[in-house]
Amino acid sequence: MTPLKNIRNFSIVAHIDHGKSTLADRLIQVTGGLTNREMKEQVLDSMELERERGITIKAQTVRLNYKAKDGEDYVLNLIDTPGHVDFTYEVSRSLSACEGALLVVDASQGVEAQTLANVYQAIDVNLEILPVLNKVDLPAAEPDRVKAQIEDVIGIDASEAIEISAKTGMGVPDVLEAIVTKLPPPQGDRDAPLKALLVDSWYDPYLGVVVLVRIIDGVLKKGMRVRMMGAKAVYLVDQVGVSTPKKTPVDELGPGEIGYLTAQIKEVADTAVGDTITDDRRPCDKPLAGFKPSVPVVFCGIFPVDANDFEDLREAMGKLRLNDASFEFEMETSAALGFGFRCGFLGLLHLEIIRERLEREFNLDLITTAPSVVYDIHMTDGSVMELHNPADMPDPVRIDHIEEPWIKATIMAPDEYLGGILKLCEERRGIQQDLTYAGSRAMVVYELPLNEVVFDFYDRLKSVSKGYASFDYHITDHRAGDLVKMQVLVNDEPVDALSMIVHRDKADYRGRGMCEKLKDLIPRHQFKIPIQAAIGGRVIARETLSALRKDVTAKCYGGDASRKRKLLDKQKEGKKKMRQFGRVEIPQEAFIKALKIDS
């Protein structure tokens, strides 16, 4: 039991790649949390995919024991926050478990869109911010310029920003000392009823669901019956502990402390991030403010290429869901694709991560249909329905109007790319809100329909800015729009997996782009194939794929049967990645690629 004055709870906020994980590892190493041998590269980013993409998806936490220059022993709890825009809610809950945050900015890059988004969240929950300039070992580092930029753009004092290199370890001891001297200790009442914030939860194959908590008041002990106030569920605690980052059981967790509990909880879905945990026998009078369960905003269909993989896909999704309560799926059937699932995600990156994990960890070949946002359909009879799937679009005569979600997007980039970025936003029905400069970097704020962002906005933004633009967004409201369902017909058969909701003004452009792409992506058949885009019964774009007789064995000279066999086998292999639509075979990749239209 550590006295409150010797506890510091902090997070690190940073833009992706500015060195958050490297610094966290360094802090663990310097304080001796792990021996060198145990210190795998980047312990905090534990998932394989996270490590590969270099981004944090699930927050982790670690307790550091630190003897400060004042001779006292401190417990420093580092709560890692997810680094991506799709997980802002989790970031905000992690932050509210802390009293302070290290603001890490790459001294060679400066402030980026997510630096801003994250630091504003930290300021919102009243955290003390410690600016840290990382990567000062790089020749391109300009600490003074970046300090000025932090003051300019964020509006906090950066004169005492600590200059470090997380890579070499330079300056890292100063960071530890500043955490102790500049961040406030937590407050709390040990004698009050238990009140704890559910910061995160994950599924551990040995322990079951592990719940990360921050104790606000009271004491959490093994054997207690705890109540999740939002979920209205009661559990018997069978272990409490701290992560050093090895899981270490402790007798109890008191006010200001951060640790974990296990309680024979079956699914992470029962442990919503942000919920309040209290003592079932002696509950606190009211839960912590601001609890909101995360809601999926982007939906798409996921189907196995091979119909025999359906059960495997169901099982794989169930396993992923164990660890990710914000991923939703339910069975769906499509005329063209057979049995599959309609899935909901927090955003596009979340979608991509899940799809990649399904393909990679579970070895499945998948077809993903066009991502769609959630539309509110106001019917003429006064009722409102939520549309998650373009295939469920009601008959237009019964629709009064359709509302779509809008976002506020912040984009930062060197000013030479500004022209391309503005053009892209305008093309996507954007409404410019703000345009400012900090040195040679421009910051633009746009209101955009989320629908225009889900298809290929990230990719286009990256290409118009040569990768230099950073982007952050959040949903603001729903607005009425002139939206229609566009269908794609291949050889006169509608392919439901390619139908999408588009704004009427963009339908021609989308339709044409889609038909042109499909013409390149679908291999020629022995007959002519019309490819059309249509709204209702009206065709708005058309391409024709001419006929070709493809004889794969034509190149084989003589009668070498084994060679011929090999070629045929190879062709058969290729076919597995195709889907049959009427008489036409469409390759799996066409479903994704057709959506990405080059301008």
Instruction: Output the CA torsion 413→414→416→421 (10° steps).
Output: 0
Tokens 């996921």: give the residue: 302
Parallel/antiparallel/unpaired status of strands 128-134 and 100-106: parallel
9 versus 22: smaller Cβ distance to ligand GTP: 22
Considering the complex, what minimum distance in angstroms separates the CB of residue 351 from ligand GTP? 18
20 versus 388: smaller Cβ distance to ligand GTP: 20
CB contact at 8 A, 369 and 351: no
Considering the complex, what minimum distance in angstroms separates the CB of residue 115 from ligand GTP? 10
Considering the complex, what minimum distance in angstroms separates the CB of residue 28 from ligand GTP? 13
As given in the structure block, the two tokens for residue 104 are 């890490």
CB contact at 8 A, 44 and 25: yes
Considering the complex, what minimum distance in angstroms separates the CB of residue 59 from ligand GTP? 11
Q: Residue 304: is the preceding peptide bond cis (ω within 30°)?
A: no
Considering the complex, what minimum distance in angstroms separates the CB of residue 114 from ligand GTP? 8
88 versus 372: smaller Cβ distance to ligand GTP: 88
Considering the complex, what minimum distance in angstroms separates the CB of residue 17 from ligand GTP? 4
Q: Is 136 annotated as a binding residue?
A: yes
Considering the complex, what minimum distance in angstroms separates the CB of residue 350 from ligand GTP? 14
13 versus 489: smaller Cβ distance to ligand GTP: 13
CB contact at 8 A, 389 and 299: yes
14 versus 413: smaller Cβ distance to ligand GTP: 14
Considering the complex, what minimum distance in angstroms separates the CB of residue 168 from ligand GTP? 7
282 exposed, middle or buried (CB, 10 Å; 0-12, 13-18, 19+)? exposed
Q: In the sheet that 225-228 helps form, which strands lie side by side, from edge to edge? A: 233-236, 225-228, 276-279, 195-204, 208-217, 258-262, 239-243, 247-249
Neighbours of 20 (CB within 10 A): 26
Nearest to 598 by CA among 486, 520, 487: 520
Considering the complex, what minimum distance in angstroms separates the CB of residue 165 from ligand GTP? 4
Q: Residue 213: in which H helix or E strand, if any?
A: strand 208-217
Neighbours of 546 (CB within 10 A): 10
167 versus 182: smaller Cβ distance to ligand GTP: 167
Q: Is 134 annotated as a binding residue?
A: yes
Considering the complex, what minimum distance in angstroms separates the CB of residue 509 from ligand GTP? 34
Q: Which residues form the interface with ligand GTP (CB under 6 A)?
A: 14, 16-22, 45, 54-56, 83, 134-135, 137-138, 165-167
As given in the structure block, the two tokens for residue 112 are 């980026």
129 versus 501: smaller Cβ distance to ligand GTP: 129
Q: Is 181 annotated as a binding residue?
A: no
CB contact at 8 A, 21 and 46: no
Q: Is 17 annotated as a binding residue?
A: yes
Neighbours of 115 (CB within 10 A): 27
211 versus 349: smaller Cβ distance to ligand GTP: 349
19 versus 185: smaller Cβ distance to ligand GTP: 19
Nearest to 177 by CA among 286, 256, 70, 293: 70
Q: What is the CA radius of gyration of the chain?
A: 27
Secondary structure percentages of the chain, helix, strand, coil, to 5: 30, 35, 35
Identify how many contiguous H helices and E strands the chain contains and give both numbers. Answer: 14, 34
Q: Is 20 annotated as a binding residue?
A: yes
55 versus 488: smaller Cβ distance to ligand GTP: 55
Distance CA 435, CA 323 (A): 40
As given in the structure block, the two tokens for residue 468 are 């230099």
Strand intervals (E) in 428-581 = 431-438, 441-449, 470-481, 483-490, 493-494, 500-503, 529-535, 538-545, 578-581
Q: Is 19 annotated as a binding residue?
A: yes
- Name 76's bridge partners: 8, 64
186 exposed, middle or buried (CB, 10 Å; 0-12, 13-18, 19+)? buried
120 versus 437: smaller Cβ distance to ligand GTP: 120
167 versus 378: smaller Cβ distance to ligand GTP: 167
Considering the complex, what minimum distance in angstroms separates the CB of residue 411 from ligand GTP? 19
Considering the complex, what minimum distance in angstroms separates the CB of residue 290 from ligand GTP? 24
Distance CA 166, CA 169 (A): 5
Known binding-site positions for GTP: 17-22, 134-137
Known binding-site positions: 17-22, 134-137
